[in-house]
Amino acid sequence: MESLHIVKPKKVGNIANIYFMTSHNNYMPKRGRPTKRNLIQTSIVDALMAYNTPANSSAIRRDISKKLGQNISWNTIQKYLNELVQIEKVQKISTVHSKTEGKEGLTLYQIKK
């Protein structure tokens, strides 16, 4: 049985080193920044954990944009929220519309318990 060999990354400036598994079961460092998907999904989870109550996508977008220092679009937040709902990390709560019966109202999100 082959033992796994982990290669320690060399520090190169402020470039993050990320491990990835090669086809021959060795972990090799991959330099570069984390993917936008990873960055925003972890930011969404962090933002939802900070809330005591469920939050809507606009409030989450506002918090993440402020935290990252860049304007993140509502569509981007919605896309990654839907992915987190599909992998069951986040729970989607649909409220009833306040004025029209049979219509969906505000959609809120919270960490799945």
Q: Is the pLDDT of residue 4 over 60?
A: no
- CATH number at 59 reads 1.10.10.10
Q: Find out whether 95 and 107 touch, Cβ atoms under 8 Å.
A: yes
pLDDT band at residue 30 using 50, 70 and 90 as cut-offs = low
Q: What is the mean pLDDT of the chain?
A: 78
**Residue 44: inside a domain:** yes
In a domain, residue 46? The reply is yes
Q: What residues contact residue 93 under an 8 Å CB cut-off, 6+ apart?
A: 54, 107, 108, 109, 110
Sequence-distant (≥ 6) Cβ neighbours of residue 25 within 8 angstroms: 2, 4
Starting at the edge strand found earlier in the chain, the sheet holding 104-111 runs 55-56, 104-111, 90-96
Give me the pLDDT at residue 103, please. Answer: 78
**How many domains, the chain?**
1
Q: Can you give the pTM of this predicted structure?
A: 0.65
Domain that holds residue 61: 36-111
